[in-house]
């Protein structure tokens, strides 16, 4: 429970962590420094310094990425007609159809989208389990079987724990990620990355969820046809 408190604090305060010592973090979470160090070890880091280094590296990668906005529907329509987009949808569908198990991970504002899409797959006869909690246990994929995890996110860098993909990768999952924002080097950890649009589409000042929903529904149709 104490390590979970550390985890939740770190996830919500990634940038703030860079300015803290291990003692200061322990004081803010009201745990011992030993608990913080055990948390770091559990996450696969040698200690608190390596954790901070990885967080810093993560944000440096983020700053290098282009994340532009498109304010009209024309760019989106052009994107979803492109061969690259259509080919990746087909490839994703083939991976899902060939899987022994299929799960979806949606966090933050994508939580409801993940649940909706998982139910849509199930109604179509393709069993899919929707996950909306980073603490959900990740089981090892048995040798000789093929498990697919579909990660959907529209604000990848701020909401998803940066080691989440690595955790699934280490358990031998095939990883498909659908995103609105460019994910940079994280795409190298995924077996397939699909961009739902070629930029952040907005309606006024509000980010539109249309590209994500459209892409997921097209993927569902591609799987069941």
What's the residue count for the chain?
225
Q: What is the 3-state secondary structure (H, E, C) of 149-213?
A: EEEEECCHHHHCCCCHHHHHHHCCCEEEEEECCCCHHHHHHCCEEEECCCCEEEECCEECCHHHH
pLDDT tens by residue, 5-63: 888 788 788 888 899 999 999 999 999 999 999 888 877 788 899 888 888 877 776 55
Query: Domain-by-domain residue ranges, the chain?
Result: 2-63, 69-224
Tell me the pTM: 0.64
In the three-class reduction of DSSP (H, G, I as helix; E, B as strand; rest coil), residue 21 is classed as coil
pLDDT tens by residue, 123-182: 889 999 988 877 788 888 888 889 999 988 766 545 456 667 888 888 899 999 998 777
CATH class, domain 2-63, is: mainly alpha
State whether CATH 3.90.180.10 applies to domain 69-224: no
């Amino acid at each position: 429970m104490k390590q979970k408190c550390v985890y939740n604090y770190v996830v919500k305060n990634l940038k703030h962590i860079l300015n803290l010592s291990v003692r200061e973090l322990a004081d803010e979470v009201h745990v011992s420094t030993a608990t913080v160090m055990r948390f770091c070890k559990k996450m696969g880091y040698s200690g608190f310094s390596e954790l901070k280094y990885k967080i810093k590296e993560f944000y440096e990668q983020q700053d290098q990425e282009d994340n532009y906005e498109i304010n009209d529907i024309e760019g989106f329509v052009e994107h979803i007609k492109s061969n690259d987009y259509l080919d990746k949808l087909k490839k994703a569908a083939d991976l899902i159809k060939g899987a022994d198990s299929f799960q979806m991970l949606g966090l933050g504002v994508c939580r409801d989208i993940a649940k909706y899409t998982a139910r849509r797959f199930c109604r179509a006869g393709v069993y899919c389990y929707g996950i909306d909690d980073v603490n959900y246990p990740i089981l090892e994929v048995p040798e000789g079987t093929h498990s697919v995890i579909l990660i959907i996110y529209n604000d990848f860098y701020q909401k998803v724990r940066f080691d989440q993909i690595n955790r699934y990768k280490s358990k031998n999952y095939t990883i498909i990620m659908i995103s609105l924002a460019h994910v940079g080097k994280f795409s190298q950890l995924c077996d397939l990355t699909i961009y739902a649009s070629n930029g952040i589409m907005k309606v006024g000042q509000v980010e539109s969820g249309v590209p994500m929903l459209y892409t997921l529904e097209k993927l569902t149709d591609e799987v069941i046809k």
